Structure 1
Amino acid sequence: MQEDKNTNKPLKRKRHILLRIDSWIDSSLWTAGFRLVDLWEEVTIFSRKFHVEGWKKHLINLTGNALTLGAAGSVLLLTLAMPAFEETKKDWRYRGDFAVTFLDRYGNTIGHRGIIHEDSVPIDELPDHFIKAVLATEDRRFFEHFGIDFIGLARAMSENARAGGVVQGGSTLTQQLAKNLFLTNERSLERKVKEAFLALWLEANMSKKEILSLYLDRAYMGGGTFGAAAASQFYFGKNLSDVTLAESAMLAGLFKAPAKYAPHANLPAARARANQVLSNLVQGGLMTEGQVIGARRNPATVIDRAEVKTPDYFLDWAFDEVQKLSASGKFKDHTVVVRTTVDTGLQSVAEQSMESSLREYGEGYRVKQGAMVMIENGGAVRAMVGGRDYGESQFNRATNALRQPGSSFKVYTYAATMEKGYKPETLISDAPVTWRGWSPQNYGRSYAGKVTLETALAKSYNTVPVRLAKDVLGTKVIVDTAKAMGVMTPLREDKTIPLGTSEVTVLDQATGYAVFPADGMQSRRHGIEQVLDYEGNVLYDFERDEQPARRVLSEEANSKMNRMLVTIPVNGTARRGALDNGIVSGGKTGTSQSYRDAWYVGFTGNYTTAVWFGNDDFSPMNNMTGGALPAMTFKRLMDYAHQGMELRPIPGIQNPLPSGSRPEPAAGSANVASATENMPVFVRPRSLSTEATRIIRDMSKRFKDAPALSLSVQKVAGIDTPSNSTKEQN
Structure 2
Amino acid sequence: MSDSSKRKRPLVADKRYPAKGKPANKAVTKKPAKKSAPVRRKAAAPKRPRRGGILGLLSRIVGWFFRLIWKITWRITAVVVLVLALAVGYLYTTLPPLEALLDGRAKGSVTMLDRDGKVFAWRGDQFGGVVTADSVSPNLKNAVIATEDKRFYRHFGVSPRGIASAVRINLSEGRGPLSGHGGSTITQQVAKLICLGEPFDPGAGMTEKEYEASCRRSSIQRKAKEALFSMAMEAKYSKDDILSIYLNRAYMGGGAFGAEAAAQRFFGKPASAVSVAEGAMLAGLLTAPTTLSPTNNLDRSQSRAATVVRLMQEQGYLSETEARAAQDNPAELSQAAEARAGGYFADWVMSTGPEFFTRNTTEDVRIKTTLDQRMQRAAEEGLKWVFENKVREGSKAQAAIVVMSADGAVRAMVGGRKTKVAGAFNRATQALRQTGSAFKPFVFAAALDLGYSPQDLIEDAPYCLNIPGSGEWCPKNYTNSFKGQVTLTQALKDSLNIPAVKISESVGRELVGQVASQFGIQNDLAAGPALALGASESTLIEMTGAYAGILNGGSSVTPYGLVELSLLGDSEPLMGTGGGIGERVIQEGAARQLVYMMEKVISDGTGKRGQFGGRELAGKTGTTSAAKDAWFIGFSADYVAGVWMGYDDNTPLKGVTGGGLPTDIWREVMSRVHEGLPITPLPMDPPIAASAQSQPEAAPAQAPQPRREPQGTIIDQVLRDIFGGGGNGSRSSAPGGAER
| TM value normalised by structure 2 | 0.51
Among 336, 344, 351, the alignment partner of 1:313 is 344
Instruction: Please state whether the residue corresponding to 1:538 is helix, strand or coil.
Output: coil
- Note if 1:579 corresponds to 2:623: no
Hey, what does 2:463 align to over in structure 1?
433
Give the C-alpha shift of residue 513 in structure 1: 0.4
Q: Residue 115 of structure 2 corresponds to which residue in structure 1?
A: 105
Q: Which whole-Å CA distance do the structure 2 matches of 1:620 and 1:529 have between them?
A: 39
The answer for the alignment partner of 1:624 in structure 2 is 656
Asked if the contact 1:96/1:114 (under 8 Å) is kept, the reply is no
| CA distance in 1: counterparts of 2:361 and 2:395, whole angstroms | 48
Pick one of 578, 584, 598 that aligns with 1:565. Answer: 598
1:139-218 equivalence runs, <5 A: 210=210
* Structure 1 residue matching 2:654: 3-state secondary structure: coil
Q: Name which of 394, 399, 402 aligns with 1:373.
A: 402
Give how far 1:515 is off: 1.2
State the distance in 1 between where 2:303 and 2:522 align: 42
Max radius of gyration: which structure? 2
Q: 1:440 to 1:514 in 2, by over 3 A?
A: same
The one-letter amino acid of 1:104's match is: D
How far 1:448 moved relative to its partner?
1.1
Match of 1:320, SS state, is: helix
In 2: Cα distance, 1:500 partner to 1:620 partner? 17
Q: Is the 8 A contact 1:515 1:523 kept in 2?
A: yes
Cα shift at 1:505: 0.9
Aligned equivalents of 2:571, 2:656: Cα separation in 1: 50
Distance in 1, matches of 2:541 and 2:633, equals: 11
Deviations 1:245-271 (A, max 9, x none): xx78x46xx9xxx98xx311688999x
| Map 1:247-646 → 2, pairs under 5 A | 250=291, 262-264=296-298, 304-305=332-333, 308-310=338-340, 311-323=342-354, 334-363=363-392, 366=395, 368-390=397-419, 394-435=424-465, 436=467, 437-474=472-509, 476-540=510-574, 542=576, 549-580=582-613, 582-646=614-678
C-alpha distance in structure 2 between counterparts of 1:602 and 1:226, whole Å = 38
Aligned counterparts of 1:589 and 1:103: Cα–Cα separation in 2: 34
Deviation at 1:556, TM superposition (A): 2.0
Q: CA deviation at 1:355?
A: 1.1
Alpha-carbon distance in structure 1 between the residues aligned to 2:612 and 2:486: 27
The 10-residue stretch of structure 1 (514-523 or 563-572) with the greater mean CA deviation from structure 2: 514-523
1:210–1:473 CA distance, 2 compared to 1 (3 A): farther
Q: Is contact 1:606-1:647 (8 Å) kept?
A: no
- Structure 1's 614 and 530: CA in aligned 2 closer, same or farther, altered over 3 A? same
Paired residues in the alignment total 424
| Counterpart amino acid of residue 102 in structure 1 | M
Offset of residue 472 of structure 1: 2.6
Query: Amino acid of the residue matched to residue 114 of structure 1?
Result: G
Report the secondary structure of 1:362's partner residue.
coil
* Alpha-carbon displacement from aligned partner over 1:275-304 (angstroms, at most 9, x marks no partner): xxxxxxxxxxxxxxxxxxxxxxxxxxx965
SS at match of 1:456: helix
The structural deviation recorded for 1:562 is 1.0
1:548, distance to aligned residue in structure 2 (A): 5.9
Contact 1:417 1:473 (8 Å CA) reproduced? no
CA contact (8 A) 1:559 1:653 kept: yes
* Percent of residue pairs bearing the same amino acid type: 31
Contact 2:343 2:420 (8 Å CA) reproduced: no
The answer as to whether partners of 2:460 and 2:484 remain within 8 angstroms in 1 is yes
Structure showing the higher helix proportion among its residues: 1
Query: Would the aligned equivalents of 2:550 and 2:591 in 1 still touch at CA under 8 Å?
Result: yes
Shift of 1:471: 3.1
Q: Does 1:237 align with 2:282?
A: yes
Which sections of structure 2, spanning at least 5 residues, go unmatched? 1-104, 130-165, 167-204, 217-251, 267-280, 305-329, 687-740
Structure 1 residue 579: deviation in Å? 2.3
State whether residues 367 and 562 of structure 2, in contact with CA within 8 Å, keep that contact through their aligned partners in structure 1: yes
Counterpart in 1 of 2:72? none
Would you say the 8 A contact 1:366–1:621 is kept in 2? no
Query: 2 CA distance for matches of 1:651 and 1:229?
Result: 52
Q: Secondary structure at the match of 1:631?
A: helix
Cα distance between partner residues in 1 of 2:481 and 2:106: 57
Q: What displacement does 1:332 show?
A: 9.8
Deviation string 1:335-375 (CA, Å, 9 cap, x unpaired) is 22111111101111110101111122221794531110011
Displacement, 1:554?
Answer: 0.5
Asked whether the 8 Å contact 1:365–1:624 carries over to 2, the reply is: no
Does the 8 Å contact 2:557/2:579 carry over to 1? no
Name the SS for the 1:467 alignment partner. Answer: helix
Alpha-carbon separation, structure 2, partners of 1:477 and 1:265: 59
TM-score normalised according to structure 1 size: 0.52
String of CA shifts for 1:417-448, please: whole Å, max 9, x gaps.
11221111111121222221221211111111
Cα pair 1:358 1:368 within 8 Å, conserved: no
